Structure 1
Amino acid sequence: MPFLWGELPADKSRIPKYICGVNITLKLSKKTLNISLDNDNGPCLGYRKPNQPYRWLSYKQWVISEFACYTYSMVSVPLYDTLGAEAVIYIVNKADISTVICDTPQKALVLISNVEKGLTPGLKLVILMDPFEDDLKRRGEKCGVEILSLFDAEPNPEDVTISYLPLAHMFERVTVVYSCGAKVGFFQGDIRLLPDDMKTLKPTLFPTVPRLLNKVYDKVQNEAKTPLKKFLLNLAVASKLSEMKKGIIRRDSLWDKLIFRKIQENLGGNVRLMVTGAAPISPPILTFLRAAMGCLVLEAYGQTECTAGCTVTLPGDWKSGHVGVPMACNHVKLEDVPGMNYFAVNNEGEICIRGTNVFKGYLKDPEKTQEALDKDGWLHTGDIGRWLPNGTLKIIDRKKNIFKLAQGEYIAPEKIENIYIRSSLVSQIFVHGESLRSFLVGVVVPDPDALPSFAAKIGVKGSIEELCQNQTIKKAILEDMQKIGTEGGLKSFEQVKCIHLHPEPFSIENGLLTPTLKAKRGDLAKYFETQINSLYGNTQE
């Protein structure tokens, strides 16, 4: 896995048994995974195309192959083709990958092409899940790469690496519950079609990220258009919150039947535990979800370097605005950050973690390892936290990705973005600033569901693209953002002064988001360089 690196076993004779291990693991796992190899078996380890039933494809092979690696103490390395050709080459070389498992011949062609160009000389074996032509096999042989079918392979005694895993993020990995006999469903790859997937899969355990929950919240708020509907919605939330304070969590109340049933059914109607992480979630949204879902909704905090989680909210704690208490496997301390005026004596500082869940270091990168891990084994997260009186941790700032404006003020753009995203009109936002400039600018992707109705209220009509070019719309969205920024405690120099509206969402496919849906700030700055320069040029300092 990417967070922990170890040596392969000295006894290399075990490694050729890999494919045998796949078949053994398949048989042993058949009951607990509820796998059916011969026919469709419901929403588990599958995929589907829009408006079509779920079909078994290659996801079961991924999981079974991974289990086989673990059986023989092998290290698996997730590899994202969405990161681009250069990233694939870098990871293959950095991790000394000799064997890759992938599903399609197209991906195998990319890997072979890299070997032919001398870019990945260590790659010796590609194992394919899908059928392939003999031409592919012959092309591989010419450059020294053996092409094999998954269940017919006899690998060389080298490192085995699984590539293109569907469960490749640390947050996903720690919430996978195969050992309990659970099923795991994979969405069809389009976040816009996720509600359809949820209705089909009907999950009981739902690990998620705030971006999705924000959309659920915004949709409900936008549908409560009349004063009566808003009054009833707020009354229902207040009533359910009152029950939560008494330790009552249910979804069979009158308010569930009248107000919240549709929301619950849109997420499958069967969720018993929801865990949100990877980014901060707004306290009002978390409170709303706890009331609306009628189940445990926990917030966790951590990062890949500490195996995803280091703190989590506790069942029975109905208060929002914090990320809970330290997990049993680690300690958490706060360390002084004098440059930002945070001191541990005031219960504020950089969050540091030490425990059995903390990684050993970055592969072949001792300098970055020393930056992240100090001599006593504390992982420095780069996040600023505050201990609350009840012993919970609150994330209040970010040490990394900060910069200064021309007047010398420190800016933490991610903190500002997390406040602006509370606007129902904002789907995504990128806040940008420069040390030679005195103010911030922003690139905003408007919410495609909320924008048309909002525009109609102020007498503006048109497509999403046309609305993004409209100065009246731009001014109204900026005013709404600044209002929310003031309510969220932003200082005047933390408010964006002007914005550019962009109709297309930031995504993994266009290279503006990481595979964990975090903003790639450098790439965003380059992508919108022309628009950013225009914003600065047309706005008075």
Structure 2
Amino acid sequence: MANDFRANSIRMLPNLAIIRNGMYPDALVRGWPDIRTLYDVFQKGGVTICPNNPYLGHRTYTLVTSPTDPSQTVKQWSGYIWRTYRQTADEATLIGSALIHLREKLTGKRGGQWCFGIYAQNRPEWLVAEQASYAYNAITTVLYDTLGPDVVEYIVNHAEAEIVVTSADKVAGLLKLAGKMPVMKAIISMDPLDGTAGAALRGWAAEKNVALLDWAEAITLGKANRAPHTPPSAQDIVTICYTSGTTGMPKGAILTHENIVSALRAMALGGTGFTKDDVYVSYLPLAHIYERQVIQNVARVGARIGFFRGDVLLLIEDLQVLQPTIFCSVPRLLNRIYDKIIAGATGGSPIRAALFRTALETKIQNLKNSGTLTHPLWDRLVFKKVQQVVGGRVRLIASGSAPISPDVMTFLRVAFACDVVEGYGQTETSAMGHITWPTDMTPGHLGPPGPCLETKLISIPEMNYNVTDKPFPRGEIAMRGYNNTKGYWKDEKKTRELFTEDGFLLTGDVGVLDDRGRVSIVDRKKNIFKLSQGEYVAPEKIEQTYQKSDFVAQIFVHGDSLKSELVAIVVPDFEVVVPLAAKRGWGSTPVEISRNKAFRKAVLEDMDKVGKKSKLRGFEFVKAIHIEPELFTIDNGMLTPTQKVKRPEAKDKYSKEIAGLYAEIDAQPKAPSKL
């Protein structure tokens, strides 16, 4: 296949199983000759290339009389309103000048690197504040929009964020914590602070001895105290990015300009290059390095960024108005898109369902035979409506944060008739690790290393993963390159644990490298535990397997070193279950269905089928389950901001149910022992 050689990696030092990208085997890339910092990315990118082109777009609304109830008002949304690159650069200078002035006035400090926080959903002011940090060599730390107050307090104090730039809805929460965050001297609201509510917040801030300005006031302050830019060097810290953990407080990964720019160039060289004609939709959290990385590549070429309205339920309409060409997502959302399309296409008339299946099978076969993404007949008759779901102009879909199933990957390629790539990285690697080449149509892997890094595997004997395994080496994925973090902020112990003696970053992920240097994630080293018979279990791998069951939306697998069996808490997918429950007499509501013993038996039987199909080993099968009708969410404390189950919290919450499941297993008749 044309250009498919680029997906290959070459093996370096075979005895250590170290590999590099086949396009750049001799030296790792670390940026462009004239672009070494994120200040350069923006100023020498969009601001120079196309200063008057649209850059940041958002939608506003006006309240109008409801057409169905004249006594009520409803929101009437505009199209996208745009800031140009030049307008954004000028605004960033003013906000940056205001930040510098406030810091000096309130703390007496001048010069040097210092930190301020950003706390809001994705919006234009978020990126203006970030660009201000680049212009004046400040460090940003991002407060997750979904973090609880304890973590917000921890990050502000730990990162020493002297000012927080935030949306108006977060101001009250920050002021409530102000007494516990003495380092925070000022808050800048991205929204106006007018009327009674604004006056109340200003009065409260004065009582707390915290300066409070809204965006317009910060702009005015910046105009009165305009400061010249103080651009960073490549080795300066650009952000302290706190990673959400399943235990304890998050760790702050230190990322420099060189780290992120090296990852940016690797992404650009990976066959997914953006152009100034591209349009990108920003809805994935900017608190995560994945989204921030993509945003920088947009700015580098002078393309557009349109922000969603802050509500994922309105995302489809935003996509249809914006008509993006680049759509980055995560498996959780892509899986739901896949499920909805399949259900809609096959749930109608038999003729319509048969037509869809024929179209899908034809395109999948063409993809396998020739790599062809389009079809003159089936795209027009069947898939045009599917493509309109995301605006009708998408040319590239990128998936990250977790592995996506091969079936969904192939479906996305043929249904949307566009390139689909999958990447693998971590906060600590600036979101860059491995990435698939667009012309490599083989699903089920994450591609070769990015050109800025090299990868090796490290044997894990206790889990039976070894670099000497045949046909391919297996082990913990370790990466070394210019994109790697310098360590964790104020945490030397965790920093030492993160790296090997020869400088490779330990990911905690278990992978296999095929003969072309493409990695596949097969397990997780972290969170492993030992059962009473001595077998090691990686629960996250087992959870991912069982989520292939149509019944299972979420699952928490638990094991005990004093027990030989696994048990699980299962949250059903009630969109699938409720219609089936009505036919089988399991009940009509989630709570009623969850208490039905026949339903619980059916779920466990289906999980067993999935486990056998996925070739789980005997001790990896869950032997008893408890059905939970309520989804695990961030708000109820069961998920981290990156949608991972908080294992200690889940164990504590369901301790009674877990004990009951083990009692149930113990009460079952045991097979006679073989002497």
Of 507-516 and 302-311, deviating more is 507-516
CA–CA distance in 2 between the matches of 1:273 and 1:220? Answer: 19
- Deviations 1:166-216 (CA, angstroms, capped at 9, x unpaired): 511111111121333333334445545544443344322111111112222
Residue 491 of structure 1: aligned partner: 617
Please state if 1:423 is matched with 2:549.
Answer: yes
- Residue 178 of structure 2 aligns to which amino acid in structure 1? V
Q: CA deviation at 1:413?
A: 1.0
1:314 aligns with 2:437: yes
Task: Choose the corresponding residue for 1:86, options 141, 150, 168.
Answer: 150
Segment drifting more, 29-38 vs 486-495 = 29-38
3-state DSSP class of the match of 1:344? Answer: coil
Q: Is the 8 A contact 1:124 1:145 kept in 2?
A: yes
| Cα pair distance change 1:69/1:63, threshold 3 Å | same
C-alpha contact (below 8 Å) 1:402/1:410 kept by paired residues: yes
Q: Which residue in 2 is equivalent to 1:343? A: 466
1:33 to partner: Cα distance: 0.9
Structure 2 unaligned spans of 5+: 1-42, 63-72, 82-120, 228-236, 243-283, 669-675
Percent identity over paired residues: 43
Task: Kindly state the Cα deviation for residue 233 of structure 1 after the two structures are TM-superposed.
Answer: 4.5
Answer yes or no: is the 8 Å Cα contact 1:206–1:273 preserved in 2. Answer: yes
C-alpha displacement of 1:138: 3.6
Give the deviation of 1:490 after TM superposition: 0.8
Aligned to 1:144: 209
1:113 aligned to 166, 176, 179, which one?
176
Matched with 1:237 is 360
Partner residue in 2 for 1:209: 330
Match of 1:468 in 2: 594
Q: 2:575 aligns with which of 449, 461, 470?
A: 449
Within a 5 Å distance, the mapping from 1:248-397 to structure 2 comes to 248-346=371-469, 347-397=473-523
Q: 2:102 aligned with 1:64, yes or no?
A: no
Kindly report the root-mean-square deviation, in angstroms, between the aligned alpha carbons of the 2 structures: 3.2
Q: Which amino acid aligns with 1:129?
A: M
Using the TM superposition, name which of 513-522 and 233-242 deviates more: 233-242
Judged with a 3 Å threshold, the aligned counterparts in structure 2 of structure 1 residues 146 and 78 are, in CA distance, closer, same or farther, namely: same
TM-score normalised to structure 1 length: 0.85
Which whole-Å CA distance do the structure 2 matches of 1:185 and 1:506 have between them?
30
Identify if the C-alpha distance between structure 1 residues 290 and 120 changes in structure 2 by more than 3 Å, giving closer, same or farther: same
Structure-2 separation of matches of 1:86 and 1:440: 33
1:152–1:388 CA distance, 2 compared to 1 (3 A): same
1:227 offset after TM fit, Å? Answer: 7.5
Q: Establish whether residue 126 from structure 1 lines up as the match of residue 249 from structure 2.
A: no
Q: Please give the alpha-carbon distance, in whole angstroms, between the structure 1 residues aligned to 2:649 and 2:322.
A: 35
Residues 4-24 of structure 1 deviation map (CA, whole Å, 9 limit, x = unaligned): xxxxxxxxxxxxxxxxx9xxx
Give 2:166's aligned residue. Answer: 102
The CA deviation at 1:353 is 0.4
Matches within 5 A, 1:515-526: 515-526=641-652
**Structure 1 142/459 Cα, relative in aligned 2: closer, same or farther at 3 Å?**
closer
Whole-angstrom CA distance in 1 between matches of 2:338 and 2:633: 21
- After TM superposition, give the deviation of residue 495 of structure 1 in Å: 1.4
Deviations 1:514-534 (A, max 9, x none): 222222222222333333233
After superposition, the C-alpha distances for 1:360-390 in whole angstroms (9 at most, x for unaligned) are 0000001000111223221000111111123
Partners of 1:186 and 1:398 in 2: how far apart? Answer: 34
Q: Which moved more, 1:172-181 or 1:400-409?
A: 172-181
Q: Decide whether aligned partners of structure 1 residues 193 and 73 sit closer, same or farther in structure 2, where only a CA change above 3 A counts.
A: same
Counterparts of 1:287 and 1:438, CA distance in 2: 38
8 Å contact from structure 2 (residues 511, 520) kept in 1:
yes
Any conservation in 2 of the 1:282–1:422 contact (CA below 8 Å)? Answer: no
Question: CA offsets, 1:491-513, max 9 Å, x none?
Answer: 12111112222222222222222
Could you report, residue by residue, the CA deviation over 1:382-431 in whole angstroms, capped at 9, with x for unpaired residues? 11111112321111111111111121111111111111111222222221
More strand by share: 2
Q: How many equivalent pairs are there? A: 504
Q: Aligned partners of 2:572, 2:59: CA distance in 1, in Å?
A: 44
Cross-structure match for 1:15:
none
Structure of higher RCO (CA pairs closer than 8 Å, 6+ residues apart): 2
**Bigger mean CA deviation after superposition, 344-353 or 212-221:** 212-221
In structure 2, distance between residues paired with 1:50 and 1:259: 35
CA contact (8 A) 1:406 1:437 kept: yes
Q: Secondary structure at the match of 1:184?
A: strand
Give 1:183's aligned residue. 304
Which amino acid is the alignment partner of residue 205 of structure 1? Answer: I
Moved more, 479-488 or 162-171: 162-171
CA distance in 2, matches of 1:31, 1:421: 44
Task: Report how far residue 86 of structure 1 moved.
Answer: 0.8
Distance in 2 between the 1:423 and 1:167 partners? 31
Write the distance in 1 (CA, Å) between the matches of 2:639 and 2:462: 30
Residue 475 to residue 36, structure 1, CA distance change in 2 (3 Å): closer
> 1:101 touches 1:163 (CA, 8 Å); kept in 2?
no
1:174 matched to which residue of 2? Answer: 293
Preserved contact between residue 103 and residue 129 of structure 1 (Cα < 8 Å): yes
For structure 1, the residue ranges without an aligned partner over 5 or more in a row are 1-20, 41-48
Structure 1's 316 and 166: CA in aligned 2 closer, same or farther, altered over 3 A? closer
Letter in 2 for 1:111: L
1:462-510 superposed Cα distances (whole Å, 9 cap, x missing partner): 1233222222222112211110111011112111112222222222222
Q: CA contact under 8 A between 2:134 and 2:238: conserved in structure 1?
A: no
Q: Does 1:74 align with 2:138?
A: yes
Q: Secondary structure at the match of 1:345?
A: coil
Q: Distance in 1 between matches of 2:239 and 2:428?
A: 20
Match of 2:270 in 1: none
Higher mean C-alpha displacement, 529-538 vs 345-354: 529-538
Partners in 2 of 1:480 and 1:202 — Cα distance? Answer: 40
1:50 & 1:474 partners in 2: Cα distance? 44
Give, in angstroms, the shift of residue 231 of structure 1.
5.7
Task: For 1:61 and 1:271, locate their aligned partners in 2 and report how far apart those are by CA, in whole Å.
Answer: 26
8 Å CA contact 2:428, 2:484 repeated in 1: yes
- Tell me which moved more, 67-76 or 148-157: 148-157
Q: Which moved more, 1:256-265 or 1:305-314?
A: 256-265
Contact preservation (8 Å) 2:122, 2:310: no
Q: Which amino acid aligns with 1:538?
A: E
Task: Using the TM superposition, name which of 224-233 and 65-74 deviates more.
Answer: 224-233
Output the amino acid matched with 2:300: S
Q: CA distance change for structure 1 residues 415 and 512 in 2, over 3 Å: closer, same or farther?
A: same
Deviation, 1:95, is 0.3
Amino acid at match of 1:494: E
Partner residue, 1:53? 77
Pairing of 1:17-28 with structure 2 (within 5 A): none
Cα deviation for residue 451 of structure 1 reads 1.2
* Partner SS, residue 462 of structure 1: coil
Distance 1:432 1:320, change over 3 A: same
Moved more, 148-157 or 393-402: 148-157
Q: Match of 1:146, as an amino acid?
A: A
Q: How far 1:83 moved relative to its partner?
A: 1.8
Assess, with a 3 A threshold, how the Cα gap between structure 1 residues 185 and 486 changes in structure 2: closer, same or farther.
farther
Identify the residue that residue 8 of structure 1 maps to in structure 2: none
Cα distance change, pair 38–489 in 1 and its aligned pair in 2 (3 A): closer
